[in-house]
Chains A and B, each alone.
Chain A
């Protein structure tokens, strides 16, 4: 079970022969594993996520899934940093969109969506539109929606990237709680080191463009986790090592750009 990336590469066609965004990305992920991918900006993390989601085809290599197909259960759900929640649908319809696409009747999908909005504190906002919600609330809707369809894997692209520090902590805690409850395979892209260490079982570090996997770290923190777990000495040491690598990679990117 799980999936693996085999030498995934992506070259954007350009006039002078193409721009390599990803180069031989290989890793393996187990079921129910929370994986964070960290890298300097522009390293192709989001592109990699879209390839895993099947929204883009790699120019080389492949994604191999190891699972028995279950009818009606979607393969993956994506959560984006913003623009994920449709402004022209109510919170309830937004949450239920995955079920709607699966052909679940209106009554049934609204019932199930309501049940899912409740633990996110969104019940009283069910009939609101997204412009009436804060950014944090919108991301709650996007996450509730992703869990609601019960996908095989959850793919998150800096979902808390545009939140203020306080809201971010609250949503990280909520995400940890709901993930403990549902235990899904998660690929989570971020550039926030503290966030990666707090959430992940394993952190992959990518190099600057073209993106490759440079190193990986297991995070030996027991679950359920607490928000201040990141301050333990052994975790601080891991963060220091990751930071040193990232600094080096960002330096290389700057050099390449100049």
Chain B
């Protein structure tokens, strides 16, 4: 890490500590009602309690499972179709209107329809999550293929590359930075949708935990759930950063 990057990391930690400290003080002194805004120390104790009882890991496991499974289920076809649309103008003409029409529809609004088709069970839940990851990844994959400079294709063809070799040597590596950026968006959308779906229908998961706590007015448990969701978000960022370092070391390193 460069000195500059190191400094900004420390700055982030400092800012975080100040925010937490401020919250603690404001809550403890009663400036904000501690019942609705429990201090971070209380939330930490709650998290510890939930962790020791095994409850937290059970909910976390359910949520992570849905995020990952939904992401794979929606992401793999999105990647393949995105590749196709990126490479073929015909495919773009054919499918782009559908993408444009379906992408902005909030996927959670389709849950009732999906439940009618797939039944009120885990299949419908996963289907909504998969659907939400589909478009961000498809659009980024397509954009990733299309931003590859045409000269790279000409060079590959000039050196005798066939269609498959162009795919392997130009299209897949050249689009990878965009695909990873799309995966980050898709995973975060999947997380939001998972929690939303759990609030409504599931019997396990961080969303369910938040909802149950709210219904029984255990406000610190609600916060514990929100903190866990934030932690998963940080985890997603870490995974994508790791993959970016491993898979696209050739990208100019700009500090994110």
Residues of A within 8 A of B (CB): 50, 53, 55, 74, 76-78, 80, 82-84, 86-89, 97-98, 101-102, 129-131, 149
Contacts and interface: CB of A to CB of B under 8 A. Distances in A.
A60 to B, nearest CB: 23
17 contacts: A50-B154, A74-B160, A76-B158, A77-B159, A80-B154, A80-B155, A83-B149, A86-B169, A87-B251, A88-B174, A88-B176, A88-B250, A89-B169, A89-B250, A97-B156, A101-B156, A129-B249
Interface in B212-245: none
A101 B151 contact: no
Contacts of A83: 149, 151-152, 155
Interface in B152-197: 152, 154-161, 165, 169-170, 173-174, 176
Contacts of B251: 87, 131
A83 B152 CA distance: 7
B158 A55 contact: yes
A130 B151 contact: no
Nearest to A81: B151
Given A88-B173, A88-B174, A131 B158 contact: no
Nearest to B151: A83
Interface of B: 149, 151-152, 154-161, 165, 169-170, 173-174, 176, 248-252
B161 A101 contact: yes
A87 B160 CA distance: 19
- The 8 A-B residue pairs with the shortest CB-CB distance, nearest first, are A88-B173, A83-B151, A129-B250, A101-B160, A98-B159, A78-B158, A83-B149, A131-B252
Contacts, number: 57
B169 A87 contact: no
Given A84-B155, A97-B159, 17 more contacts: A50-B154, A55-B158, A78-B158, A80-B151, A80-B154, A80-B155, A82-B151, A83-B151, A84-B151, A87-B251, A88-B174, A88-B176, A89-B169, A89-B250, A101-B156, A101-B159, A129-B250
Contacts of A74: 159-160
A88 B149 contact: no
Q: Which of A53, A83, A88, A98 has the most CB atoms of chain B within a 10 A radius of its CB?
A: A88
Contacts of A149: 159
Nearest to B172: A88
Contacts of A101: 156, 159-161, 165
Q: Is the interface of A mostly helix, strand, loop or mixed?
A: loop
B250 A87 contact: yes
A136 to B, nearest CB: 18
Contacts of B250: 87-89, 129-131
Contacts of B169: 86, 89, 97
A98 B152 contact: no
Contacts of B173: 86, 88-89
A130 B152 CA distance: 13
Contact of B152 (A55, A77, A86, A129): A86
A113 to B, nearest CB: 13
A101 B166 CA distance: 10
A83 B150 CA distance: 9
Nearest to A85: B155
A190 to B, nearest CB: 18
A78 B154 contact: yes
A53 B156 CA distance: 13
Contacts of A55: 154, 157-158
A86 B151 contact: no
Contact of A53 (B158, B161, B176, B249): B158
Contacts of A82: 151
A98 B156 CA distance: 8
Contacts of B160: 74, 98, 101-102
A130 B149 CA distance: 15
Q: Which of B152, B156, B158, B248 has the most CB atoms of chain A within a 10 A radius of its CB?
A: B158
A41 B118 CA distance: 62
Contacts of B161: 101
A97 B170 CA distance: 11
